[in-house]
A and B are shown apart, each in its own frame.
Chain A
Amino acid sequence: DAKTTQPNSMESNEEEPVHLPCNHSTISGTDYIHWYRQLPSQGPEYVIHGLTSNVNNRMASLAIAEDRKSSTLILHRATLRDAAVYYCILSGGGSNYKLTFGKGTLLTVNP
């Protein structure tokens, strides 16, 4: 499984943007970049995914480097409910879909 590297923890203030980095220098051409998050005492939750182009959805934006060796999850205005562990994961789609979770980044949001 292709590996990703994320900071162990990050801190943000409420209503400020948060940029969560992820390095994935061994990404293959068919790997999608997925972001999931896990709120305390809950199951993982899909946030966003992308292949080559930057992506936006109602939860976040995903900025992907041109060489695809790194990406950044952007939460435009952090809220207290965004406090969670964020996982950056590489995987194929469909029948090649398998999530291998690392330790992720623990995001703390200060009021």
Chain B
Amino acid sequence: EPEVTQTPSHQVTQMGQEVILRCVPISNHLYFYWYRQILGQKVEFLVSFYNNEISEKSEIFDDQFSVERPDGSNFTLKIRSTKLEDSAMYFCASLGAGRMNTEAFFGQGTRLTVV
């Protein structure tokens, strides 16, 4: 069974620090996503990424956020200067090619705690 891997599983950081959340999507997938879920709330879309560029981003994804696929396997989410309200579970997802493909695979998430 293919899987999306996220590291670390839990990250604690001080307010104002930069964090990088890492994801290894499924190897032949072409579409990549980041979502977040604040404790007790809905899963929220952050950004989608295709062909080495952002295809869509939400209002949450402001200038403090960036994504990168540095080496063809990893997909990272960087938060430049973390705020307390960035504390959440962050989920990476990937989707295979093809217009008919609609089964996204999610990772187990990284719990980010900003103190």
Contacts A43-B107, A43-B109, A44-B91: A97 and B102 contacting too (C-beta < 8 A)? Answer: yes
A54 CA to B109 CA, complexed, in Å: 32
Interface stretch, picked from A3-11, A18-26, A63-71, A88-96, is A88-96
Residue pair B45, A94 in contact (C-beta under 8 Å): no
Query: Which residues of B from 72 to 100 have beta carbons under 8 Å from A?
Result: 91, 93, 95, 97-100
Would B100 and A98 count as touching, CB distance under 8 A?
Answer: no
Q: Are A101 and B42 in contact (CB under 8 A)?
A: yes
Query: Given A38-B43, A103-B42, are A98 and B56 neighbors across the interface (CB < 8 Å)?
Result: yes
Q: B106 to A98, Cβ gap below 8 A? A: no
List A contacts of B102 (CB < 8 A). Answer: 32, 34, 49, 91, 93, 97
Chain B interface bracket (under 10, 10 to 19, 20 to 34, 35 or more): 20 to 34
| Binary A-proximity of B98-114 (CB < 8 A = 1, otherwise 0) | 11111111111100000
A-B pair count, CB < 8 Å, reads 65
Task: Evaluate contact between B44 and A97: CB separation under 8 angstroms.
Answer: no
A87's closest neighbor in chain B, by CB?
A: B43
Q: Assess the B97–A94 pair: CB atoms within 8 A.
A: yes
**A11-53 near B? 1/0 per residue, CB < 8 Å:** 0000000000000000000001010001000111110010000
Chain B residues, Cβ within 8 Å of A42 = 108-109
Interface centre among A43, A95, A96, A103 (most CB of B within 10 A): A43
Whether B103 pairs with A46 at a CB distance below 8 angstroms is yes
| Complex CA distance for A101 and B33, rounded to whole angstroms | 14
Give bound CA distance, A71 to B110, whole Å: 32
Query: Which 6 pairs show the lowest CB-CB distances between chains A and B?
Result: A43-B106, A94-B99, A101-B43, A46-B103, A93-B102, A43-B91
Pick 30 A–B contacts, CB within 8 A, sort by A: A32-B102, A42-B108, A43-B91, A43-B108, A43-B109, A44-B35, A44-B43, A44-B91, A44-B93, A45-B106, A46-B103, A46-B104, A46-B105, A49-B102, A93-B98, A93-B100, A94-B97, A94-B99, A95-B50, A95-B55, A97-B48, A97-B101, A98-B45, A98-B56, A99-B43, A99-B45, A99-B93, A101-B43, A101-B44, A103-B42
